[in-house]
A and B are shown apart, each in its own frame.
Chain A
Amino acid sequence: MGQITFITEIQNESADASTAELVDITTGYGGSNPDRDELALYLKLFKRDSSLADTEVIVDNTTPLTVSNWAFNLAGDGWYVGLVYGFPIWAAGSFLSGNCVYYNNNYYKANTNTSGTPGISPNWDLITDIQSEVGAYATSLVSQTQTNNFTTAIAESGPIGDDIQALGQKIVNGKCRDWNDAASVIYGAALLESAWVNFRRADYAIAQEIVDYINSQFANAA
């Protein structure tokens, strides 16, 4: 079975920047790879700070067969690391030792060659901690991808948003009354752009530093 590289992206940030969704935008389903409906997806999501320390962000993994986006509470702007696991869905047949499957709301790994039913046959071991157990498995057993995701919703809705709002009051008949204020707003937007570009070129920690700076220092610059 082919392996899929999962692709995710943070979208649908709420207006108050308290929640967002990690959306599965994987393009590799089908063909030589499993179709989406042949996989159970499980996500571990972490907020990673600029010093590379992780804090888990809880997501709902109760609908692995159909999930296409995971809602979560924004725990700050910046770098979100997602560990996406794709388990084949068990169906009657023969499985080799080490094969991992999803069946009946649980995840299993065959401890020997088996045609038994997970949860009934002793030939299947229940996987209780996917990250610690599956993370060490070969990708031939479980499709798994670490995705890096980025959001600046909090900065945009907070300091930059406020500054843009404040600047709006100073534009009369299309004329800006204070160029310094305007420059400050544009500067904040440019820093956000810089954060994004750093993220896109995989300088994740730097991107995180920039949004941290915006959120902590840039408020009310206008």
Chain B
Amino acid sequence: MGAPIRSSNEIDSIINRGQHSIADLGHELVNAAKLGKDSNDPVQREKIYRLILLRAALQNLLTPDGVIKNFYLDSANEIPKNKVLDVIAKLAKSFDGTSIPFLGQKRIPLYFFPSSSGLSSSGGASGGPASPGGITFQNTSVDSPGEVVDSFNASDSEFAFYIYSVRGSNSGEGNRTGILILSWRGTDVKIAGDIKTEDTGSGLNTDGVTFSAAVNAGLLELTCNVPTDNWVVKGTRILFQNISFQNPLGPLPTGGTTGQLLVKSTDEDYETEWTDNITVIGIRVASQGSNNPYAVFVNSVAGTGNGLIGWDIVGGSLISGSLAGAFIFGTPSAKPIQFGTNNAIRLTIDENGDITARKSIKLGVGLLSSSSARVGGVVYSSVTSIGNSGVSDTTLYSYTVDSYALPNNGDTLEIFACGINASPGSNFVRIKIGGVTRGEIIISPATDNTWMMRGKLVRTSSSDCLFTYEARGGIINTIQISTAIGPTQSASTTISVTAQGAASNEIIGKHVQITYQPTISITNFQRSETRLYGRCCRYSQ
């Protein structure tokens, strides 16, 4: 073929000029575009096509690594090579510059990453979430010359995939299944495919059954054209830009009733079932029939519920004896319920139903004008008849109060004791706090043959209490008010009622009762305290 028309240096120079022109043209085009130029501008258009053609010519001549392709190195192809070089030289015009290196010893190729490919599980930013499956359609009586069998908003997509079946109802008409693909832009709709099975049914056919599509009033309509009446057309439509074929959802299980939930039935992929009961991390949402929705907090996935909350519509369904229509919170087994605040248990209902409150209970909140009533109660009671023994001081009743039993200033223990004087004389009945006599009556012959003492032990600070008392049936001794006595916040105290006579059983205790009375707003209730215990109340004003 003769000697090369161009030297290698000349060829390198032309390629080099082409590369520089691509660089410059791109920059010029972008700058012009920013100034409002587009392809309607002849200069801009000329540069666009020059850029395109230059790139095409260089790609034609060079490998991705920037060396001349073997085809053009073959001397038999000198002429086409020189034609390509001519194109590059002309399109590059007169520009020249230094050689442009390749990066990393190779040309950087143009990669193509489809923006909505393969991201079926989460969907790409422009593809939207994958929606496995498709939309089914059917028209069970398509009459000649044809009817719309499926329609949807044409703006939902620009392409669709159909799987269809047709079935004739008249003599000689058979069945077939096929596949269609549709593409549309605006009202321009193209339909292709119709890859179909042969007609089924011996001697039967589906001749004359075709499909067409059009956009009408914004709806993409698929029409089945038939030669006779009563064709059954069914199928599935997939707008396949959003379809995932990577992890298709398997068929749903059959059956199920309204309101039931789909849950995993085994650890195998896609194995599911319909159920009323769902266990999620120890919580089972269940219902009994359709009337008693409730949640059970279980101690294991398959374990027995230890706590439930729900609505017992019919009564007695969730917990034995529950009322119809009641909202139930409880334990169906022998378990306590506890309520806590501020990381401390405040109220306990044990498995036997006993209720324990760590502090006072308020009643009538919002009903009383300025405060609420606090609920106290009897903490100790005895009706055992006990007499004194000999001439010594005999403990008739005794009760130990825990430390912190009176947590608030004003909290009170009321001690009531009564009995009889079996043999009136110079006998003594005493109330002792912590073993120390704080109240004492002397029963003389002139007194009644019954006696009664009532004392109040009121907390005044975290370290001491005030004790006062009144009595009947005897002479109140001089000890009437005692301070700086227990129980304190840190120490327990024993409260006892004792008796001392000239002989055994001269004093008989019949009843003692200790009542806890929590404090309320002291300011609001001073007068009440005065009225009840006017003899010696510390709070009298």
A interface residues with partner B (beta carbon < 8 Å): 7, 9, 13, 15-17, 25, 150, 152-153, 156-158, 160-162, 164-165, 169, 172, 183, 186-187, 189-198, 200-201, 203, 206, 209-210, 213, 217
Q: Tell which of B20-28, B163-171, B437-445 binds the partner.
A: B20-28
Give the distance in Å from the alpha carbon of A162 to the alpha carbon of B119 in the complex.
Answer: 15
Give 7 nearest A-B pairs by CB, closest first. A194-B26, A157-B113, A197-B23, A213-B30, A198-B23, A190-B55, A201-B100
B contact residues around A196 at 8 Å (CB): 108
Q: Sample 22 A-B pairs with CB under 8 A, ordered by A number.
A: A9-B103, A9-B104, A13-B111, A13-B113, A15-B118, A16-B119, A17-B113, A158-B115, A162-B126, A169-B159, A183-B49, A183-B52, A187-B48, A190-B22, A190-B51, A190-B55, A194-B25, A194-B29, A197-B20, A200-B102, A201-B97, A206-B23
Q: Which of B64-101 touch A at CB < 8 Å?
A: 97-98, 100-101
Give the distance in Å from the alpha carbon of A169 to the alpha carbon of B52 in the complex.
Answer: 22
Asked whether B344 is an interface residue with its Cβ less than 8 Å from the other chain, the reply is no
B contact residues around A210 at 8 Å (CB): 26-27, 30
Give the distance in Å from the alpha carbon of A74 to the alpha carbon of B126 in the complex.
Answer: 18
Asked whether B531 is an interface residue with its Cβ less than 8 Å from the other chain, the reply is no
Of the candidates A161, A183, A201, the one whose C-beta lies within 8 Å of that of B113 is: A161
Nearest residue, chain B, Cβ from A158 = B115
B contact residues around A16 at 8 Å (CB): 113, 115, 119, 124-125
Asked whether B117 is an interface residue with its Cβ less than 8 Å from the other chain, the reply is yes
Are B115 and A161 in contact (CB-based, < 8 A)?
yes
Give the distance in Å from the alpha carbon of A169 to the alpha carbon of B126 in the complex.
Answer: 17
- Whole-angstrom distance from the CB of B184 to the nearest CB of chain A? 10
Of the candidates A161, A191, A217, the one whose C-beta lies within 8 Å of that of B112 is: A161
B contact residues around A198 at 8 Å (CB): 23, 26-27
- Whole-angstrom distance from the CB of A22 to the nearest CB of chain B? 12
Known: A156-B111, A187-B52, A193-B55. A206 touches B125 (CB 8 A): no
Categorize the interface residue count of chain B: 35 or more
A contact residues around B118 at 8 Å (CB): 15
- Whole-angstrom distance from the CB of B237 to the nearest CB of chain A? 17
- Whole-angstrom distance from the CB of A65 to the nearest CB of chain B? 24
B interface residues with partner A (beta carbon < 8 Å): 19-20, 22-23, 25-27, 29-31, 33-34, 48-49, 51-52, 54-56, 97-98, 100-104, 108, 110-119, 124-126, 158-159, 183, 190, 192
A contact residues around B25 at 8 Å (CB): 194
Sample of 17 more A-B contacts, CB < 8 Å, known A165-B116, A187-B52: A9-B103, A16-B125, A150-B103, A153-B113, A156-B111, A156-B112, A157-B112, A157-B113, A161-B113, A169-B183, A187-B48, A194-B29, A196-B108, A198-B23, A198-B27, A200-B101, A217-B33
Are B19 and A197 in contact (CB-based, < 8 A)?
yes
Are B23 and A157 in contact (CB-based, < 8 A)?
no
Give the distance in Å from the alpha carbon of A106 to the alpha carbon of B378 in the complex.
Answer: 72
B contact residues around A17 at 8 Å (CB): 113
A contact residues around B27 at 8 Å (CB): 194, 198, 203, 206, 209-210
Give the distance in Å from the alpha carbon of A140 to the alpha carbon of B34 in the complex.
Answer: 46
B contact residues around A165 at 8 Å (CB): 114-116
B contact residues around A209 at 8 Å (CB): 27, 30-31
Give the distance in Å from the alpha carbon of A25 to the alpha carbon of B52 in the complex.
Answer: 32
Give the distance in Å from the alpha carbon of A190 to the alpha carbon of B113 in the complex.
Answer: 16
Give the distance in Å from the alpha carbon of A13 to the alpha carbon of B22 in the complex.
Answer: 25
- Whole-angstrom distance from the CB of B129 to the nearest CB of chain A? 14
- Whole-angstrom distance from the CB of A196 to the nearest CB of chain B? 5
Are A213 and B126 in contact (CB-based, < 8 A)?
no
Are B100 and A197 in contact (CB-based, < 8 A)?
yes
Give the distance in Å from the alpha carbon of A187 to the alpha carbon of B23 in the complex.
Answer: 13
Of the candidates B33, B108, B158, the one whose C-beta lies within 8 Å of that of A213 is: B33
Are A164 and B112 in contact (CB-based, < 8 A)?
yes
Give the distance in Å from the alpha carbon of A9 to the alpha carbon of B101 in the complex.
Answer: 14
Nearest residue, chain A, Cβ from B107 = A196
B contact residues around A186 at 8 Å (CB): 52, 55-56
Give the distance in Å from the alpha carbon of A158 to the alpha carbon of B98 in the complex.
Answer: 33
Of the candidates A150, A169, A190, the one whose C-beta lies within 8 Å of that of B26 is: A190
Are A194 and B22 in contact (CB-based, < 8 A)?
yes
Name, among A15, A161, A190, A217, the residue most crowded by chain B CB atoms within 10 Å (CB to CB): A190
Nearest residue, chain A, Cβ from B97 = A201
Are B20 and A201 in contact (CB-based, < 8 A)?
yes
Are B114 and A161 in contact (CB-based, < 8 A)?
yes
A contact residues around B183 at 8 Å (CB): 169
A contact residues around B158 at 8 Å (CB): 169
- Whole-angstrom distance from the CB of A117 to the nearest CB of chain B? 39
Are B114 and A191 in contact (CB-based, < 8 A)?
no
Nearest residue, chain A, Cβ from B124 = A16
Of the candidates B34, B51, B103, B119, the one whose C-beta lies within 8 Å of that of A194 is: B51
Give the distance in Å from the alpha carbon of A187 to the alpha carbon of B116 in the complex.
Answer: 22
Give the distance in Å from the alpha carbon of A169 to the alpha carbon of B108 in the complex.
Answer: 27
Are A193 and B126 in contact (CB-based, < 8 A)?
no
Give the distance in Å from the alpha carbon of A118 to the alpha carbon of B517 in the complex.
Answer: 72
B contact residues around A201 at 8 Å (CB): 19-20, 23, 97-98, 100-101
A contact residues around B126 at 8 Å (CB): 158, 162
A contact residues around B33 at 8 Å (CB): 213, 217
Are B22 and A193 in contact (CB-based, < 8 A)?
yes
Are A191 and B30 in contact (CB-based, < 8 A)?
yes
Nearest residue, chain B, Cβ from A168 = B114
Are A157 and B114 in contact (CB-based, < 8 A)?
yes
B contact residues around A206 at 8 Å (CB): 23, 27
A contact residues around B22 at 8 Å (CB): 190, 193-194, 197
B contact residues around A213 at 8 Å (CB): 30, 33-34
- Whole-angstrom distance from the CB of B117 to the nearest CB of chain A? 7
- Whole-angstrom distance from the CB of A15 to the nearest CB of chain B? 5
Nearest residue, chain B, Cβ from A162 = B115
Name, among B23, B34, B54, B118, the residue most crowded by chain A CB atoms within 10 Å (CB to CB): B23
- Whole-angstrom distance from the CB of B93 to the nearest CB of chain A? 15
- Whole-angstrom distance from the CB of B38 to the nearest CB of chain A? 10
Nearest residue, chain B, Cβ from A183 = B52
- Whole-angstrom distance from the CB of B64 to the nearest CB of chain A? 12
Name, among B27, B48, B159, the residue most crowded by chain A CB atoms within 10 Å (CB to CB): B27
Give the distance in Å from the alpha carbon of A196 to the alpha carbon of B107 in the complex.
Answer: 9
Known: A157-B115, A169-B159, A190-B55. A200 touches B103 (CB 8 A): yes
Known: A169-B158, A186-B52, A206-B27. A156 touches B124 (CB 8 A): no
Are A153 and B111 in contact (CB-based, < 8 A)?
yes
Nearest residue, chain A, Cβ from B109 = A196
B contact residues around A195 at 8 Å (CB): 26
A contact residues around B26 at 8 Å (CB): 190-191, 193-195, 197-198, 210
